[in-house]
Structure 1
Amino acid sequence: MKTIQINKSLIAVALLTVILSACASSNDFLSENFARVRNTHQRIAILPFDVQFENPLNVQNGAKRPQFFSKQEREASLDAQKELFAYAARQVQKGRYEIAFQDFTKTNKVLSENGIKLEDIARQNKADLAKLLGVDAVIFGDLAIRITQMNMRSPQMMPFNRNNDGVETNVKLFDAVSGEMLWSTNLTQRPSNPMDTPHHLSSQLIEQVAKHLPYRTK
């Protein structure tokens, strides 16, 4: 009977370890000026994300990043933007934020009309983009999706615990007036089982970002 109890305890510890290792870890920054400018922010735009699918082995070998987004990166960029908007809007509906988020389709229309490509957004001055979009601040993030070895049966699946494979996102908030970065969060998540996909892990991180934007009222 004791043996069974010990085994159950060991199993519980093992499961807890796996769960904790799979959970996203974060590192947040908040500017001292945020409290001063927070009340001046009424409408925020979420920009398409900067996305890179990378093989850590290629990075170690000095491979350069392509100048233009691949089709996969372009889709992931827009998916991350759309998901953050949806998750953030849900927080507004729940009364946790008293701000408005510009519809992502309007954001993208304005960017397109002004000749701003997805792969160029990272290099653009964020205050200028905020003014162009007619908002008080913009949120911009990047996604690094690390895949050492693709699953040949299903290329969408993540390898299981290989060479720090997983997804990392860094999301930042920029003020339209000063251009200052007021807040940022860095989140990482590794696959917890062979069925995890890059989109699933990215979506989990984006949801966490939406829940912890610095405008939370409760």
Structure 2
Amino acid sequence: MRTLLPLLLAGAIAFASCSSSKNVFTASDFSQQASTHKKVAVLPVRVVQTGHVGKNETAESIRAANEAWSAQFQETLLSYIVSQAGKRRKGPLVSFQGAAQTNALLKSAGLDIETAYGKSPEELAKLLGVDAVMMTTLDKKKNVSDGVATAVGVGRDLLNVFGKGGRNTGTSLDGFNATDINMNSTLYNGPDGRMLWKTFREGGDDLPNNVNDLVQYYSNWIAKKLPYRS
């Protein structure tokens, strides 16, 4: 016990030195490593579902719904990141690769969202021609009951939000609750795949209960904490 206690205290001190705020981890040498970054890629958001599957649901429809939501979430997240980074006066100066280019490069390499997330960060950075990659996962503990139809509605509503002056039609979270949705987002260094930064948020009663607001909430959460400027 006498040997173990100093080790535990040392570990706690080391973790504390790397953490800048609640629900955020920042590597102690983030500024040094990120000072070499010129371009960052934001990958499509990986949506993972567990729980009840309705009788009208199939593996294909669930996957199609998740991929549609992933693509829209990626666009929203990137928009928020670029907006927040543009307001910042401090932090490493970087540019962000467009979602269309990121997705085209992944597609040309034969990678869908699941297989892309199975690759190492350094492999993805090399493939995408960037210095760092951001990988975000949304964990849903219940399935959307109407599958693709909900995903298509999500896409349409998000386009309304960001393309027509911010109108929000508020697609409901049909089949699951915001309390069942967790998010984690991680930034990896391209050359060696090291985790440089991470934020997470567990679902809670205070989260929005419609898709558009939830996507914007999580996007804003990540963007405000990511320590880059552009």
Alignment equivalent of 2:194, drawn from 157, 164, 180: 180
Deviation at residue 148 of structure 1 after TM alignment: 7.7
Structure 1 length-normalised TM: 0.70
- What is the RMSD computed on CA atoms of the aligned residues? 3.3
Distance 1:184 1:215 in 2: 13
Whole-Å Cα distance in 2 between the matches of residues 68 and 137 of structure 1? 32
| Paired letter, 1:180 | R
Report SS of the residue matched to 1:40. coil
1:116 counterpart SS class: coil
Q: CA deviation at 1:191?
A: 4.8
CA pair 149-182 structure 1, distance change in 2 beyond 3 A: closer
Decide which structure has the larger Cα Rg and report it: 1
Contact 2:39 2:95 in 1 (8 A): yes
Q: Deviations over 1:132-188 (max 9, x none)?
A: 11111000010012348969xxx75247997x8332110000111111111111113
Q: Which residue of 2 aligns with 1:53?
A: 49
- Contact preservation (8 Å) 1:29, 1:183: yes
| Cα separation, 2, equivalents of 1:216 and 1:188 | 26
Q: Which residue pairs with 1:86 in the alignment?
A: 79
Contact between 1:126 and 1:179, CA under 8 Å: does it hold in 2? yes
Distance 1:200 1:90 in 2: 17
* 2:219 pairs with one of 184, 206, 217: 206
1:41 and 2:37 aligned: yes
Aligned-pair distance for 1:117?
A: 1.0
Residues 159 and 166 of structure 1, relative CA distance in 2, 3 Å threshold: farther
Confirm or deny that 1:28 pairs with 2:24: yes
Determine the C-alpha separation between the residues in 2 that align with 1:92 and 1:205: 16
TM-score, normalised to structure 2, is: 0.67
Shift in CA distance, 160/72, structure 1 to aligned 2, threshold 3 Å: closer
Q: Which residue of 2 aligns with 1:136?
A: 131
| 1:191 to 1:99, Cα distance in 2 relative to 1, 3 A | same
Of residues 114, 117, 120, the one that matches 1:119 is 114
Which amino acid in structure 1 is aligned with residue 86 of structure 2?
A: Q
Look up the match of 1:166.
180
Mark the runs of 5 or more structure 1 residues left unpaired by the alignment. 1-25, 59-65
Identity %: 27
More strand by share: 1
* Change in CA separation of 1:147 and 1:88 when aligned onto 2, cut-off 3 Å: same
Q: 1:115 and 1:190 mapped to 2: Cα distance?
A: 36
Count of residues in correspondence between the two structures: 181
1:8 is aligned to: none
Shift of 1:203: 2.3
Consecutive unaligned residues of structure 2, counting only runs of 5 or more, are: 1-21, 54-58, 151-170
Deviation, 1:86, is: 0.5
What is the identity, as a one-letter code, of the residue corresponding to 2:84? Answer: Q
